[in-house]
Amino acid sequence: MIETIRWSGDWTGHLELIDQTLLPGRLEYLACRDAATVWNAIQRLQVRGAPAIGIAAAYGVVLEIARGQPPTAPGAADLQREVHNVCDYLEASRPTAVNLAWALARMRRAADDLHAETKAPRRDDLCRRLWREARAIHEDDRAMCRAIGMHGAALLENVDRVLTHCNAGGLATAEYGTALSVIFTAQDQGHLMHVYVDETRPLWQGARLTAWELHQRGIPATLICDSMAALVMRQGQVQAVLTGADRIAANGDAANKIGTYGLAVLAAAHAIPLYIAAPSSTFDLSIADGSQIPIEQRAAEEITRPFGQLVAPDGVAVYNPAFDVTPARYIRAIITERGPIEPVTSARIADVLGVI
């Protein structure tokens, strides 16, 4: 599969990201050599998807610390503070996806652990430790997504037609994706699902990205406008709805790309199960329910001038939340790398995630 995120060289190297704003027309990599470039790539959705932005941000910490000049004195406390400051900066790029905070917390701990071990680490030693941690985050996500695919393929072994929303494939993660990992793994096992792809307004991540990924894999896909989902369900074309998530509360309420909540209500009305595929890193057990999930508000121009094309009167009032929250009662199961969570309850989540 095409690598969404790749690192070139050792700890002194640089980060390369597929510029997802150019797909499906052009496949190009964006070279990142500092944290500011990574921050802008996350904010502009050149890299997107909860796991992918976490990985990119982790590498962004390495880039920024490696750029610093070696101090004239050991300056261990200053180096440690520098890491925390860079992490704080990158964490502010997007507020909803918890994988971003999860990955940066790991980078902070890596720096703190080295400081505790050596008291006065050199900058190059710190960079090596941070680089190893970023690579571990990258590989951990790859393994988690593969495991999600295995569990999900088993759970949906009798499902032949699914509907998905936004993009939860390789472009959103280290490799196989979350929701699309289920479909890709099923294909690997000889089970070919037909996928109805919501276009996913206002930025068409379904049309531009998911449809592109499925086409690359030779998986049959039918692109539909978001407003067509109800009719497709009523016609019996959909046996399950399968999406990813950006943050999941302790009770199972799940934030995902705007429009997911509407699909959940439609699926319930048509007695169609909704499955969410997400790694354990997407859970935020510090919040009790979805009402506490911060929802990112994005620029009006994404609706009035998508990709530079004027489609609405200048000056019209716009409401543009990037995410909505699906209540746990609408979710049949959450597919994690540790197995499916079914039923979706606080107790079952704690049990599967190993929370004491």
Nearest to 328 by CA among 277, 276, 282, 287: 276
**Per-residue confidence band for 274, with pLDDT thresholds at 50, 70 and 90:** very high
Considering the domain architecture, whether residues 325 and 188 belong to the same structural domain is answered as yes
Which pLDDT belongs to residue 121?
84
Considering the domain architecture, whether residues 125 and 207 belong to the same structural domain is answered as no
Q: Say how many CA atoms lie within 13 Å of 225 toward its Cβ.
A: 3
Considering the domain architecture, whether residues 129 and 188 belong to the same structural domain is answered as no
Which of 98, 115, 144 is the last residue in one of the domains? 144
Considering the domain architecture, whether residues 73 and 172 belong to the same structural domain is answered as no
Residues spanned by the domain of 135: 5-144
Which of 116, 144, 172 is the last residue in one of the domains? 144
CATH number, residue 306 = 3.40.50.10470
Considering the domain architecture, whether residues 12 and 113 belong to the same structural domain is answered as yes
Considering the domain architecture, whether residues 263 and 298 belong to the same structural domain is answered as yes
Residues 179, 170: Cα–Cα separation, whole Å: 10
Considering the domain architecture, whether residues 68 and 179 belong to the same structural domain is answered as no
Quick check: 47 and 5 in contact, CB under 8 A?
yes
Number of domains forming the structure of the chain: 2
What Cα–Cα distance (Å) separates residue 96 from each residue in 166, 290, 295, 352? 15, 11, 6, 23
Which pLDDT belongs to residue 356?
53
Give pLDDT tens digits for 38-76.
Answer: 999 999 999 999 999 999 999 999 999 999 854 444 455
Which pLDDT belongs to residue 72?
40
Which pLDDT belongs to residue 124?
92
Mean pLDDT of the residues in the chain: 95
Considering the domain architecture, whether residues 167 and 123 belong to the same structural domain is answered as no
Nearest to 87 by CA among 123, 52, 63, 114: 63
**Per-residue confidence band for 77, with pLDDT thresholds at 50, 70 and 90:** low
Give pLDDT tens digits for 131-145.
Answer: 999 999 999 999 999
CATH number, residue 108 = 1.20.120.420
Which of 114, 144, 174 is the last residue in one of the domains? 144
> Left (φ > 0), alpha (ψ -120 to 50) or beta: where does 304 sit?
alpha
What Cα–Cα distance (Å) separates residue 103 from each residue in 84, 107, 237? 13, 7, 38
Catalytic residue among 198, 246, 253, 324: 246
Residues 9, 142: Cα–Cα separation, whole Å: 20
Considering the domain architecture, whether residues 123 and 175 belong to the same structural domain is answered as no
Which pLDDT belongs to residue 74?
45
At 78, phi and psi to the nearest 5? Answer: -65, -40
112 carries an active-site annotation: no
